[in-house]
Chain A
Amino acid sequence: MGNSNGTVWLPEGASTVASEIDWLFYFVTWTSLAIMLLVVGGLIYLAYTYRRRSADDAPQPIKESKLLEISWVVIPTILVLLVFTWGFQGYLKLTVAPPNAYEIQATAFSWGWSFDYPNGASSNNLHVPVDRPVKVNMSSEDVLHSLFIPAFRVKQDVLPDRYSSVWFEATREGEYHLFCSEYCGTQHAEMIATVHVHSQTDFNEWLADAAMDEDIPLPELGERLFGQQGCQQCHSIDGTSGIGPTMQGLYMNDRLLQSGETVTADENYLRQMIIEPTAQVVEGYPAGVMPSYARLSEREINALVAYIKELE
């Protein structure tokens, strides 16, 4: 990923705001270093010059220097007011998106992301065009999350029942990390997606491709959704058990439920599990962990069912 280079302290910036923020970061870092040297230098000098020579060292009364006191009040005050001003100017830039920004809708859930584009395309990684302001409108399906793209120097909490937004303009094509930075439980650390910055033409191509749901066969669409919607984070397709049961060989199998009954995993069972997972809970797995996917379209649910049926 693009993040591995950059300076000692910061990953390489890839957005229009990055250079300004990096400059501010380094200004504070270097000034801090200067202050640090002053303090440590003074400390070592004084501790050495006035080191104790004998237990009988007589205490000496001293006069305090007003000039010294005033200067170490005034200079730091000026410095912090300076960085405060720069900091809030930068902050205003970060909070106000340009009016012509391209808008993407993001949904955060435990534990994954889903990004929806104006033309109906949907993806669990973020795809954006380069050199164009993008505004991401966000909301959460459950607890707090936070969208953090280190290379863009942006971060914004995502709340349930309320919209928040973040904007950026990518300046370099490439792939970057997108982290969840607000603690959200078991797989918080794995709630990572990738930001793909494309050239405008590549982006258009990707977008058209991603929106082609209508034309591709159901199982194939299902396979794509299984990844995009984060099912694979909890369900394997190779027989290993994860947070949820594996999907391999599930279709038409007998399932023991927590209620004690046994049902056959037919199409309706699969459909019900996707829309309302709490209605029937599989024995041996926790209830309430799997989120409901009732927000998917009819065709998408059909596609998922078709895909699971094929996993023998």
Chain B
Amino acid sequence: MSSATATHDGGSASAAGSSEAPNYLNHQKTIRSWLLTLDHKRIGVLYAVTLATVFLIAGLLAIAVRLELFMPGETIMSNDAYNQTFTMHGIMMVFLFIVPSIPAILGNFVLPMQLGAKDVAFPRLNLASWYVYMIGGALVVTALLVGSVDTGWTFYTPYSSSGSMSVLYMTLAIFIAGFSSIFTGINFIVTIHKMRAPGLTWNRLPLFVWGLYATSIVMVLATPVIGITMILLFLERLLQIGIFDPALGGDPILFQHFFWFYSHPAVYIMILPAFGIISELMTAFSRQRIFGYKAIALSSVAIALLGFLVWGHHMFVSGQSAISGIVFSLITYLIGIPSGIKIFNWVATMYKGSVWLQTPMLYALSFLFLFTIGGLTGIMVGVLAVDVHLHDTYYVVGHFHYVMMGGTVIALLGGMHYWWPKITGKMYNETLGKIGAILIFIGFNATFFPQLILGARGMPRRYATYVEEFTFLHQVSTISSLVLAAGLFLVLGYMVHSLFWGEKATSNPWGAATLEWTMATSPPDPHNFTRTPIVTRGPYDFHLADEVFGPRHVGDGAGDGATSEPALPRETEST
């Protein structure tokens, strides 16, 4: 894959790759060494495999949902089966996939490397988070085997306190999986504060690190709330104390407050790391510094904190007071503006750059398109009077899929392609990569755009069947979802293929300027770097990254990110 070797050191590094230097993948080979590993990179890989499996299952459930909706009436399953299917799809996607996804996979792998650190601050806690997650996952499976959960991922009371007992396993599962988030959050915060390489000031942190930092704050502060809520639900069910169930003297609206007090900030847990990835991709593939570094970095943290004040926008028609509705709507708008500004910043980053349309960049550009639609439809459902009509319809379903899938999942895919050479030491097939990205883009839009129209026309969500007039749009959506699925399977296929038959990756195939590319081999050494990096420039100061682009601009910052000593990859090359 000569087209991928963009950089001056690229060609020679691949020659060096043939000598089998020990790397984190091959220095120990037993299963035991994987299951007991304290290496953040290996834990990232463990998470990648686990989460890919969860995504596959939850995705197949989504296909089942779409097939059932191909026609009104019963198509492939009964009402009850349908209700359980969309519930499992939601629970698995939200709690077991999207919330952990980017931080657990790419955050774990990339964060310490971008900081120039050997590992995260608490490697044992890191491994524990994976095991805790696995216990949570096992409980979800138990809940499935014991009975059926059909409450929707929102568990609204009193429906959830009256159905089958397996809801209890599910709430317990979410409670436990929450700890995995908290562990990761604490770990990242401490790592970012304490383990930065010499010279890596806050102003020089890559934006992916800023995104993870903001996310970690939300994880640590918000996750306990969902934990407590689930415990209250559990206790109410088990001991019959009235908390949420009106039959016992409880208040069902209280549950909604608790639930959204977590679940809205959770939206930011899901999207902030995605913002970080997009910043990395837009800069690396534009070979240009990010437009408005400070604005992007600080607004992530601002969004994280303000995100705690808007939960009530999920409850405009639930019977909360009109005043609360108005206040929540206003704050929702204020928090929406920084996200919008980021979009403009990313687009402007290409200005005077050298835009390279490789697969990760295609994902970044489709993110900009899809997330803008997600954001603008969010503005729509934030308009109080209009939300009364759109609430709990397919418009909302379309909106949050544009944000969660068009945003987070697309960014995750972009990030996986971008860091794939670093993680695996192999290049995927670029042509198939582009075809996959385009298939996914088209399939996604054709699946979810019709849902926006369906919702505005009055189609309520969580309906196992529907009135005739909605048939056409549902069929478009179902057929397109198969295109989307085909795109995703294609990605899975060539990624797995590349593991065995892919070309060897050079240490910096994209010509990026952050430490994991400039200072480490692909795949990296077990200890990431053989020498502590010393940083003298910002993460996207490509014009100063002479180790990547040659000493064209002699002056300060000659050398790697940047020392006057030669960078690691070159040194290995010469040996």
**A103 CA / B83 CA spacing, docked (Å):** 35
Q: How far is the CA of A180 from the CA of B354 in the complex (A)?
A: 53
Q: Tell me how many residues of B have a C-beta within 8 Å of chain A.
A: 90
B59 in the interface (beta carbon within 8 A)? no
Does B373 lie at the interface of the complex (its beta carbon under 8 Å from any beta carbon of A)?
Answer: yes
Does B499 have its Cβ within 8 Å of any Cβ on chain A? no
Would A95 and B460 be within 8 Å (CB), given that A60-B288, A73-B341 are in contact? Answer: no
- Inter-chain CA distance A159–B289, complex, in Å, is 54
Given A50-B286, A157-B317, A68:B385 Cβ within 8 A? no
Q: How distant is B434 from chain A, measured CB to nearest CB, in Å?
A: 14
Q: Which of B522-554 contact A (CB under 8 A)?
A: 542-543, 545, 549, 552
Q: How far is the CA of A73 from the CA of B337 in the complex (A)?
A: 7
Q: Which A residues are CB-close (under 8 A) to B159?
A: 143-144, 183-185
Within 8 Å by CB of A24, from B286, B291, B385, B466, lies: B385
A142–B158 CB distance below 8 A? yes
Contacts of A83 in B (CB 8 A): 379, 383
* B313 vs chain A, min Cβ distance (A): 11
| Contact A159 B386, CB 8 Å, known A9-B457, A59-B287, A59-B288 | no
CB of B292 within 8 A of CB of A35, answer: no
Query: Taking the complex as formed, is B6 at the interface, i.e. its CB lies under 8 A from any CB of chain A?
Result: yes
**B156: chain A residues within 8 A (beta carbon):** 144, 182-183
Q: Tell me the B residues contacting A by CB distance below 8 Å.
A: 5-7, 79-80, 83, 150-152, 156, 158-159, 162-163, 246-247, 252-253, 286-289, 291-292, 295, 316-319, 322, 325-326, 329-330, 333, 336-337, 340-341, 343-344, 347-348, 350-357, 365, 368-369, 372-373, 376-377, 379-380, 382-389, 391-393, 453, 456-458, 460-467, 469, 511, 542-543, 545, 549, 552
The answer on a CB contact under 8 Å between A181 and B325 is no
Which residues of A are found within 8 Å of B6, using beta-carbon distances? 55
Are B80 and A186 within 8 A (Cβ)?
A: yes
Residue of B nearest to A68 (CB): B348
Residues of B within 8 A of A143 (CB): 158-159, 162
A90 to chain B, nearest CB (A): 3
User: A151 — nearest CB in chain B belongs to which residue?
Assistant: B458
Residues of B within 8 A of A25 (CB): 380, 386, 389, 456
Known: A36-B373, A36-B376. A84 touches B383 (CB 8 A): yes
Chain B CB within 8 A of A61 CB: yes
Contacting residues, chain A, for B340 (C-beta < 8 A): 72, 76
Chain A residues within an 8 Å CB radius of B466: 189
Asked if A210 is at the interface (CB within 8 A of a chain B CB), the reply is no
Is the CB–CB distance between A150 and B379 below 8 Å?
Answer: no
A162 touches B246 (CB 8 A): yes
CA distance A99 to B542 in the complex (A): 68
- Cα of A234 to Cα of B392 in the assembled complex, Å: 26
Whether the pair B329, A181 counts as a contact (CB closer than 8 A) is no
**What residue in chain A is nearest B158 (Cβ atoms)?**
A143
Interface residue A262 (Cβ < 8 Å from any Cβ of B) = no
Q: Number of residues in A with C-beta < 8 Å to the partner? A: 87
Residues of B contacting A190 with CB < 8 Å?
Answer: 79, 465
Nearest A residue to B343, CB-CB = A39
What residues of A have a CB within 8 angstroms of the CB of B384 in the complex? Answer: 84, 87-88, 90-91
In the complex the two chains form, is A189's CB within 8 Å of B79's CB? yes
Task: Tell me whether A295 is interfacial, beta carbon within 8 Å.
Answer: no
- Quote the shortest CB–CB distance from A45 to chain B (angstroms): 9
CA distance A32 to B340 in the complex (A): 12
CB pair B246 A58 closer than 8 Å: no
Look across to chain A and name the residue whose beta carbon is closest to the beta carbon of B545. Answer: A59
Evaluate contact between B462 and A91: CB separation under 8 angstroms: no
Asked if A144 meets B385 with Cβ closer than 8 Å, knowing A51-B355, A155-B317, A192-B467, the reply is: no
Contact between chains at A157 and B453 (CB < 8 Å):
no
Which residue among B286, B377, B382, B463 has the maximum number of chain A CB atoms within 10 Å of its CB? Answer: B463
Pick the contact of A162: B5, B319, B388, B391 (CB < 8 A).
B319
Contact status of A20 and B385, CB under 8 A, knowing A46-B350, A80-B379, A146-B392? yes
A3: which B residues are within 8 A, CB to CB? Answer: 457-458, 469
